[in-house]
Chains A and B, each alone.
Chain A
Amino acid sequence: MPEIMTTSDAPAKGPSAVAGPRRIAGKVALARLRDLALVPAVIIIAIVGQVINPVFLKPDNLINIGQTMSEMALLVLAQTIVLVAGKMDLSLESTFGLAPGVAAWLTVAVGAGHGLGLIPGGWAVPITLAVGALIGIANAALIVRFGLHGFIVTLGMLIVLRGLLTGISGGQTFFNLPESMMYLGTAVWFGIPASIWICLALFAAGIVLLGYTSFGRSLYAIGGNVDAAKAAGIRTDRVLWTALVGASVLAALGGLMLSGRLASVAASQGNGAIFTVFAAAVIGGVSLNGGKGTMFGAFTGILLLFMIQNVLTLAGVPAQWIGALNGAIILIALVVSRITGGKAQE
């Protein structure tokens, strides 16, 4: 009964020793393939889209997909960093709205909506990023310093920040944004919108960060087993601070890109986005328990969701039904990745 021999602890005696390492090597290759698990799905959707409507693979439509997903993709990038470290940050969607909102509030001239016009327009971008950083510091202080549960802290923060944005904007939309805020959302570099370049560059940086820097590997170690990480001399608190603050800054940057593209900051900017963000990350193989998942996987997750949305629109599905279909697609994608991934997602 060779099965029994190999399921027991016997590491290396007799014939099983020869079979052992080879089989493990196969598993390693499989684990790497899991990163690419969504690539076939992306290709299938592309083919389906093309069949449904020949517009799908036209450059204009692809750029359209890329641009609409670029802002949300930054939220996924930010959330992935936090999730890998075993925490979660729900407040990212509110940061996504509040950070550019505060910048608009301070820079937009009096008279047009609720702007105060206190500060010249050139300060808008630094203000946006600074607000993001401040929110991250607040989150990190509560979660890391005071040891509160990340889910509840950021849920509270989500509500507070959304309320602040509604408060400063009077529930309305900021228009007449300064030039500097418009640039990232409207500029075109080498024929492709800047936001797509930024999104791709940041994901490439994210892949390097998580895979090839000690900071990135510390995130995995902390998410996988925080005591082991501490025992290995990793300054876990410092790493978590950096992760949470960095995530908030990324969310602020994403918000800035969306505000630029829409030339406005609505009081509801980013509202409800966090659910899509979580869905994209989990579909992409990032574990909600931490310590598992890759940046590339997360990217394919958000890409898949936006391609499907685009296909549905091209197929002429009425806008009222898109929400229900979106939810159903997320559930189906989870089931599919559960089957292909093999292990329970928690």
Chain B
Amino acid sequence: MSGDGERSATAATGDGQIHVGLPVAEAAHISKRYGSTLALDDAGITVRAGETHALVGRNGAGKSTLVSILTGLQAPDTGEIRFSGVPAPRLSDRDAWRRHVACVYQKSTIIPELSVGENLLLNRYERSRSGLINWRALRHRAQELLTTWSVEVEAQTRAAELSVEQRQFVEIARALSFGARFIILDEPTAQLDAAAIARLFARMRDLQRQGVTFLFISHHLQEIYEICDMVTVFRDARHIVTAPVGDLPRGELIAAMTGEAGGLEAPRSRTALGGTAQVVLDVAALSTAGTFDDVTFQVRAGEIVGLAGSGGSGKTEVAETVIGLRTADSGTIAVAGHRPRPGDVGAALAAGVGFVPQDRHHQGLVSGMSVADNATLTIPQRIGSAGFLSTRRRDAVAATLIEDLAIKAPGPDLPVSGLSGGNQQKVVMARALANDPSLLVLITPTAGVDVRSKEFLLGKVEQVADSGTGVVIASDELDDLRLCDRVLVMFQGRIVADMPSGWRDHDVVAAMEGLTIDA
């Protein structure tokens, strides 16, 4: 860590609060217990000025708890937090905390109905002499802030109109405006497409040069190698290792996270299919104005087809049209020879489609309902008759699914809101598989899911395909696509490439970005 002293020295010039050589933030011997669960067990982290520090761990490793303790939302049971060597302020002194640290959460802390400017300066209004809010001055100061941190958004824009990416930039600018030079990014890339991630990273490097320190939380190990200097691994509520990113190759990092050797890169040994299997999905000349245009492809039984593309490429919309969430302007969809009524999810389900929607919080789960209810939501006819449900049969079906998908839940009665992200996604997958589909449509099936659950889910997909189900995976995640027998790349609403298994990463990425491919 010889380079750190030099870095923090340059950082210190930007902000008087940073003392040379002392870590920006230091958590030592932190323990935190919620009821019977030990969320953090004598864990700690040291973040030095000017570095970008990765915090990784599977769901439930204690990352979220550490973040809420580091940002002063909760007090640790034992242990101490220090900022630049000074003990952390009292929990009630929010202003003091905000001067030290800020966190951009996955869940937006922007108020959608208010303007960007008001969000930036919420509760810190510019006042005129009469004591009333001076909107013109407020807009002016907000615009200045946005310009200073080069966020290209108008201060009077309604916050609801911002994209996820812009929203994050605004939140970062707000954090910096409080004087904090240590920013925690909690899975910032989870909802971004590849181009937006690249812009976020460019912004992070830029801010790093201006003396800003980041704690970066992500499930995508690739991103950690790309942007971070140091990495800290948590597992089962404990601190496992902290090392420079370069000293910890991928395999070792995964081993540290999972507690066992082995990585995600295990070569897939899928047998290529002959062209004789039955066609389970036939999409012909599907078009919706402004979204996608003349999309035609087929999926055979037992085949896994990837639908790649960045956000806005139309891949999600095509997948949602297939499962009946949207209606296309023209074109046809046939599932196993039948044509379900367009725009009717029920008809698609009846035709034998199972699907995992894009956002599990939004469309995938009813968070207050139990695991059993969620898993069997699509198959009421199988667990009862004449409109009545048999709870006994429901629990039996659910128990099979829970076992089948290795969902870590004490029982089928637990509300899904109590599960970790990975297990929630498994419940969504269970629901998709509940009606024994002949076609499985998955939209970003591993978003916000830890490494082990991801591996498990993808393994499950492969297993399902081997049993003769056709699978469509709409994703821009290379790990998801690697599984596919072939990948269709969409760009600006059209399929621009059809790549058989064995493609190189950069070819697919280039095609998703609309660059010409050197075949």
Contact = CB atoms under 8 A, between A and B. Distances in A.
Contacts of B119: 228
B290 A212 contact: no
B153 A11 contact: yes
Given A217-B122, A217-B133, A233-B95, A24 B110 contact: no
B132 A220 contact: no
B311 interface: yes
Given A24-B161, A217-B118, A8 B133 contact: no
Given A4-B493, A8-B310, A291 B111 contact: yes
Contact residues of B: prevailing secondary structure: loop
Contact of A7 (B94, B110, B132, B312): B312
Interface of B: 94-95, 98, 107-115, 118-119, 122-123, 125, 131-133, 135, 152-154, 156-158, 161, 163-166, 169, 192-193, 195-196, 199, 290-291, 310-314, 492-493
Nearest to A231: B109
Interface in A218-261: 218, 220-221, 224-225, 227-229, 231-234
B158 A31 contact: yes
A225 B158 contact: no
Given A3-B290, A28-B156, A8 B311 contact: yes
Contact of B195 (A10, A208, A232, A292): A10
Contact of A225 (B98, B109, B161): B109
A1 B292 CA distance: 10
B132 A9 contact: no
A231 B174 CA distance: 12
Contacts of B493: 1, 4
A320 interface: no
A195 to B, nearest CB: 27
A12 B152 contact: yes
Given A21-B154, A217-B133, A11 B109 contact: no
Contacts of B112: 224-225, 291
Given A212-B132, A220-B114, A234-B122, A4 B109 contact: no
Nearest to A29: B156
B248 to A, nearest CB: 32
A25 B169 CA distance: 19
A61 interface: no
Contacts, number: 114
B123 A233 contact: yes
In the complex, the 10 A-B pairs of residues with the closest C-beta atoms, listed nearest first: A8-B312, A224-B111, A212-B132, A9-B163, A232-B122, A12-B152, A228-B109, A3-B290, A232-B123, A9-B165
How large, as a class, is the contact surface on chain A?
35 or more
Nearest to B166: A11
A212 B311 CA distance: 39
Interface string A195-231: 0000000000000100111100110110011011101
A58 B226 CA distance: 75
Contact of A9 (B108, B122, B133, B311): B311
A160 interface: no
A17 interface: yes
A207 to B, nearest CB: 11
A224 B125 contact: no
A7 B310 CA distance: 12
A103 to B, nearest CB: 34
Contacts of B164: 9
Contacts of A225: 108-112
A338 interface: no
Contacts of A7: 290, 312
